[in-house]
Structure 1
């Protein structure tokens, strides 16, 4: 069953597995706002659990902006990821924005939990900003008139498969690109312990104005970086390379190693439609194999605002991903 609520919109989601239970985290906002575009500045995080990624038990609100005066994340706490360290402690990395900056500057925060529901910020919560020796690799200040925000959001954290430590990927942009829709990037940072992070140069840029909600995972011999983007944010080059009409949804990068080099997967856009059917998708290795989950969009006039049932994903002999058609998924 889709994860939905009569009084709330749900959109971006992320998942963590503890034993045989999946913990889902969802951005939420009240439908009383009327305008679905208003949800972004009224977002908190919700928590639910499932054994099969289909039937969910709603556990209510789990995380929200700091309410005790001015803070770097007193405006929004957006999309993130959850991982567990070697000692069993759970770590939430999330996107935060500040009211005094009109929520235009995004940064990455950090909180921990022993039960996956009650979270405590680490210090003031700030884990990473676009500062330090590699900051000039990014559009570190708001390029007013060129792009709508200072992009640093949607952290995806995972263990470094090449050794000790952790890797973080996030939505970002690179400077000095004349075409706004060619400046999107997947940012990168490393940590030995989940507590101290070092900003690294982006692992990929180009193709789109933004590569939102990146998710890096391995399937077979390849590594994949799932991302979502709008039809309005296809670059001129990608429009030439991809003969299909622009669509909104999720596509992916492909590489032989999680540090790259990454390239845009050839062929058709993985999971798109116009108007958008599903956005901010995740690919999860569920009980029946790889599945894709994302929220029902439909556009502003018919905004869905719920998380759709998972649909199967296959990996072809060529290493390319494919989402099973609806008829097949329903069988």
Structure 2
């Protein structure tokens, strides 16, 4: 089974494990919209639980845009969930507002005691591209150059080398002539999960956007998984792949989550044309690691459901391989 709903499309997802239970969170929109491209501006967040990542129990909507007027009254997009030392759960999410045409993205913060009912912290806004370090980002919408002011998909984790917290997010860097070379992984730090300080990006280049970042370690190596479209490859990265444009999931590698990061060498990790799996996550399970993301396209067009998990392997060089892709190439 997949995470699927008869009357709604599902796309980006993120996961939190507590004991033997996985909590899956995902973006969803009604199929009554008819055109799946309309889902982005008619979105809410769903919640489901599983003990095996295959069989899921749905619990309905757990978060949605605020009532107008608000900074997040248009959309509440992709995020991540963590738990603090007191046992309080924290949701970090992407928000946009109607007054700005949903073009300016910011990061919001909500908390919960049960992993389903979420309350915004104040008005929810916790981080924007403002202050001294905003100069390292495209902090204003570059109309005609890029389609939005990018600051979305926050991934929050404990600092493995300190007592604070780290946030990574999809962003763009300024002053780069080639639009598809300006994608960035934004970065922020916090001592307490409530007060965040914007930092310069930890990575810039190779793609126009690096969506839905997820930072994790396997052994001593750090990985930053992201997804991107073949339409957003830079000229240099396209040349390195002999022009074989695919859409899907790739990753950066580093020795520490603060970087320096570089694009993983070799072939694009998990991509197809048309795209099969997008906005993937890699999860640690008892038998190793697996990848799961939403089913993007089939012969009929957009699908909109979460695919079953598939095992991944780490080779001797520390590079990732999707087991099913490896079998296809054998």
Q: CA deviation at 1:137?
A: 0.2
Q: Which runs of 5+ in 2 are unaligned?
A: none
Task: Please report how far the alpha carbon of residue 244 of structure 1 lies from its aligned counterpart in structure 2 after TM superposition.
Answer: 5.3
1:107-122 alignment, distance < 5 Å: 107-122=106-121
1:295 maps to 2:294: yes
Name the residue aligned to 2:232.
233
Deviations 1:160-183 (A, max 9, x none): 001100000000000000000000
The RMSD of aligned alpha carbons is: 1.3
State the partner residue of 2:34: 34
Question: Which residue is 1:60 aligned to?
Answer: 60
In 2, the alpha carbon distance for the partners of 1:213 and 1:287 equals 24
Corresponding residue number in structure 2 for 1:252: 251
Q: Does 1:49 align with 2:59?
A: no
Whether contact under 8 Å (1:78, 1:96) holds in the other structure is yes
Q: Which residue in the other structure is 1:126 paired with?
A: 125
Cα distance in 2 for partners of 1:324, 1:143 equals 40
Range moving further from structure 2, 283-292 or 220-229: 283-292
User: Residues 244 and 268 of structure 1 are in contact (CA less than 8 Å); yes or no, is this contact kept in structure 2?
Assistant: no
Map of 1:4 onto structure 2: 4
TM-score, scaled to structure 2: 0.97
Structure 1: tracts of 5 or more residues without a match: none
**1:220 CA displacement:** 1.2
In structure 2, how many angstroms separate the alpha carbons of the residues matched to 1:301 and 1:132?
46
Q: 3-state SS of the aligned residue for 2:217?
A: strand
Quote the offset at 1:302 in angstroms.
Answer: 1.3
d(CA) in 1 for partners of 2:327, 2:288: 15
Give me the whole-angstrom Cα distance separating, in 2, the residues matched to 1:3 and 1:94.
20
Q: Is the 8 A contact 1:314 1:321 kept in 2?
A: yes
Q: Secondary structure at the match of 1:304?
A: strand
Match of 1:324 in 2: 323
Measured in 1, the distance between the counterparts of 2:303 and 2:212 equals: 19
Structure 2 distance, partners of 1:278, 1:187, is 24
Q: Which residue of structure 1 lines up, in the alignment, with residue 80 of structure 2?
A: 81
The aligned counterpart of 1:153 is 152
Alignment: residue pair count? 328
How far does residue 287 in structure 1 lie from its aligned partner after superposition? Answer: 3.3
- The question of whether the paired residues in 2 share the 8 Å contact of 1:253 and 1:264 is answered with yes
